[in-house]
Amino acid sequence: MLESDPPMDEFDAQEFLGFCVACDSYDRIDSTGHCGECASKLERDLIRQRDWDYSWTAYGTPPELREKLRAEVIARHGAPLELLLETTADRKRRGRGGGRRRRKRKRRPGHGKK
């Protein structure tokens, strides 16, 4: 084979630059559209919810160790969801309040045709 391998510098094949779907920052994002920070938050949320199929960490963890992994995550980062909860709350927060503005017209007394 004469073809040389494409250089794989610091760029991971699964990562590219873009806007994170969770925090909107322009950064390196993974195939799910999350920056590194949000990806790890999401990862922990998935483990908290036992969404083993979606978690990269759990994917490489034997089933008998997953509960241990979950307990470890909760012990270290707490039980409440970090990212998934935020997304749900964000959806609820939508909509700006008060669209109609009423302006009072000033009446000028004494002004009229006579």
- Residues in contact with Zn ion by CB under 5 A are 20, 22-23, 35, 38
Least distance CB 4 / Zn ion (angstroms) = 35
Closest to Zn ion by CB, 15 or 66: 15
Q: Residue 78 burial (CB < 10 Å; 0-12/13-18/19+)?
A: exposed
Least distance CB 3 / Zn ion (angstroms) = 36
Q: Strand pairing partners for 17? A: 28
Closest to Zn ion by CB, 16 or 68: 16
Within 13 Å and on the Cβ side, how many CA atoms surround 102?
Answer: 1
What span, in angstroms and rounded, lies between the C-alpha atoms of 13 and 39? 16
What span, in angstroms and rounded, lies between the C-alpha atoms of 14 and 3? 22
Least distance CB 6 / Zn ion (angstroms) = 28
Q: Locate 17 and state its tokens.
A: 């630059």
Least distance CB 93 / Zn ion (angstroms) = 18
Closest to Zn ion by CB, 38 or 58: 38
Closest to Zn ion by CB, 66 or 77: 77
